[in-house]
């Protein structure tokens, strides 16, 4: 005898259809979440790329001396050294500037020039030419030696706006100095090398400079000497 097949009941058929619809809805819901999450991640990725590519690259520069030691960069409108350091630096710069001889003066001036601003060196060259001092030293075969004879003092210090429109901090330093001119020629009467001593008061204006122009961030802008 053949087994008689029974047809599923209406309730079973309805349950099967509802179960299939439920699984379809679940799959659709999961796919919708995956698509939404993918779109969100894509937007975040594009936003990050735009932020990185659209932002200008920023560089940080540092300055170091010949030994590799980092140099602090201070705005030229502010002092970068104590007053005592500026006084000592100014006296040393003026001493070297006025110590030279008729043979080695090009190299000596070149070294002393590093302590001056461009305008300061221009003024110094003009003063030397007007006084004829360099020609006299060369003509007489002389050696010029400068020695400070007393302590220096700061008579004025402030932030000034200079002709180029830039605000720079500056100091006016005053100190006494003795400049000696000793010639290779002999005095006809004494038969000794001709010597001339000149005692002067020095007023030197020191201004702030960028550290990449001068490691100390200082430069001589003006030099005035008066007899005493």
Q: What is the DSSP string of 5-59?
A: P-PPPHHHHHHHHHHHHHHHHHHHHHHHHHHHHHHHHHHHHHHHHHHHHHSPPP-
Q: Say what the pTM is.
A: 0.69
The total domain count for the chain is: 2
pLDDT at position 109 is: 92
C-alpha span between 186 and 182 (Å, rounded): 10
| Containing structural domain, residue 24 | 9-58
Is residue 69 assigned to a domain? no
Is residue 43 assigned to a domain? yes
pLDDT tens-digit map of 82-128: 999 999 999 999 999 999 999 999 999 999 999 999 999 999 999 88
- Considering the domain architecture, whether residues 90 and 50 belong to the same structural domain is answered as no
pLDDT at position 22 is: 61
The pair of structure tokens assigned to 204 is 């030197």
The DSSP 8-state label assigned to residue 187 in this structure reads P
CATH label of the domain that carries residue 175: 3.10.450.230
- Considering the domain architecture, whether residues 88 and 171 belong to the same structural domain is answered as yes
Candidates 71, 137, 54; CA nearest to 100 is 137
- Considering the domain architecture, whether residues 92 and 47 belong to the same structural domain is answered as no
- Considering the domain architecture, whether residues 134 and 197 belong to the same structural domain is answered as yes
C-alpha span between 136 and 1 (Å, rounded): 146
Residue 124 CA, chain-centre distance (Å), reads 25
pLDDT at 43 over 90: no
- Considering the domain architecture, whether residues 126 and 165 belong to the same structural domain is answered as yes
pLDDT at position 37 is: 80
pLDDT at position 72 is: 73
- Considering the domain architecture, whether residues 146 and 186 belong to the same structural domain is answered as yes
Candidates 69, 72, 125; CA nearest to 97 is 125
CA-atom Rg of the chain in angstroms: 42
C-alpha span between 55 and 27 (Å, rounded): 42
């Amino acid at each position: 005898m053949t087994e008689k097949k029974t047809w599923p009941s209406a309730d079973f058929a309805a349950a099967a259809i509802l179960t299939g619809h439920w699984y379809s809805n679940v799959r659709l819901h999961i796919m919708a979440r995956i698509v939404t999450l993918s779109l969100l991640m894509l937007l975040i990725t594009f936003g990050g790329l735009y932020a990185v590519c659209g932002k200008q690259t920023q560089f940080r520069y540092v300055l170091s001396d010949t030994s590799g030691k980092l140099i602090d960069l201070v705005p030229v409108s502010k002092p970068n050294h104590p007053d005592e350091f500026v006084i000592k630096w100014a006296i040393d710069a003026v001493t070297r500037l006025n110590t030279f001889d008729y043979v080695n003066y090009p190299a000596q001036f070149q070294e002393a020039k590093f302590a001056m601003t461009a305008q300061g060196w221009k003024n110094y060259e003009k003063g030397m030419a007007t006084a004829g001092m360099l020609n006299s030293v060369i003509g007489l075969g002389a050696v010029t030696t400068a020695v400070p004879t007393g302590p220096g003092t700061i008579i004025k210090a402030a932030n000034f706006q200079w002709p180029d429109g830039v605000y720079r901090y500056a100091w006016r330093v005053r100190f006494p100095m003795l400049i000696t001119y000793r010639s290779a020629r002999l005095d006809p009467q004494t038969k000794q090398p001709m010597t001339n001593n000149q005692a002067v008061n020095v007023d030197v204006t020191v201004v702030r400079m960028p550290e990449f122009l001068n490691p100390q961030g200082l430069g001589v802008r003006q030099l005035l000497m008066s007899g005493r």
